[in-house]
Amino acid sequence: MHVREDHWLARVRRRPSPNRGPRPDPADISLVVVHGISLPPGVFGTPLVEDLFQNRLDVSRDPRLADLEGVRVSAHLFIDRRGRTTQFVPFSERAWHAGLSTWRGRDGCNDFSIGIELEGEDRRAYTRSQYRRLQSVLAALFARYPQLSRNAVVGHQEIAPGRKTDPGPAFDWQHLLSALW
């Protein structure tokens, strides 16, 4: 796996999201934020995450989706339970995944981060396929963007404490990071 010249991963499914914009400094890609998402909450294998990132989510499908009415979000990548990967935003652009956020004294993490959504929830174990794919993706990102390292891989809860909890206590950080070196 590698990052192409156009800042898209090679050999992954592409579904460009309209929810993106330019980075203030395109050379400043210095953080990776790992998220967990399932739509509806706790339900896996639906097309609803892609629908959300493409602004076509039908919130009437389930009452648990009501608070997503009109929400405009995206991530660079989504990795499903089987490890299948979809890219929504090229890494050279700003995805809208972090919201109000701060890391090492810098606000607005969307400006300098890559957002990776894993299909999951806080308290259910993520799959081996997801960890393997995430490790491959991180290796490709580290090779392409020199400011990235294992010390710059964080969970959403670390950049938005008190507001976000994902990827949650079920995410095995030690397993992920030990395989990177």
- Domain ranges in the chain are 13-178
pLDDT band, very low/low/confident/very high, at 180 (cuts 50, 70, 90): confident
Rounded-to-integer distance, Cα 181 and Cα 37, Å: 27
pLDDT value at residue 181: 62
pLDDT value at residue 174: 92
> Mean pLDDT, to the nearest integer, of 127-151?
95
Token pair listed for 116 = 């990776």
DSSP assigned state of 105: T
Rounded-to-integer distance, Cα 28 and Cα 112, Å: 6
pLDDT band, very low/low/confident/very high, at 57 (cuts 50, 70, 90): very high
Summarize pLDDT for 169-178 with one digit per residue, the tens.
999 999 998 8
Coil, helix or strand for 113?
strand
HSE, side-chain direction, 13 A CA sphere, residue 140 = 19
Rounded-to-integer distance, Cα 118 and Cα 130, Å: 7
Q: Exactly one of 117, 119, 121, 158 is catalytic; name it.
A: 117
Radius of gyration of the chain (CA): 15
Residue 74: exposed, middle, or buried by beta-carbon count in 10 A (0-12, 13-18, 19+)?
Answer: buried
- Is 50 known to be catalytic? no
CATH topology for the 13-178 domain? Lysozyme-like (3.40.80)
**In this prediction, what percent of the chain has a pLDDT beyond 70?**
99
As a 3-state breakdown, the chain gives helix, strand, coil percent values, each rounded to 5, of: 25, 20, 55
Rounded-to-integer distance, Cα 22 and Cα 11, Å: 24
Residue 92 has pLDDT above 70, yes or no: yes
pLDDT value at residue 178: 84
Task: Please tell me the pTM assigned to this model.
Answer: 0.96
Concatenated DSSP letters of 36-58: EE-SSTT--S-SHHHHHHTT---
Average pLDDT, the chain: 95
In angstroms, the Cα distances linking 8 to 51, 63, 78, 111, 159 are 20, 35, 13, 18, 25
Question: Distance between the two ends of the chain, CA-based, in angstroms?
Answer: 17
Residue 66 has pLDDT above 90, yes or no: yes
In angstroms, the Cα distances linking 26 to 7, 17, 78, 137 are 11, 18, 22, 20
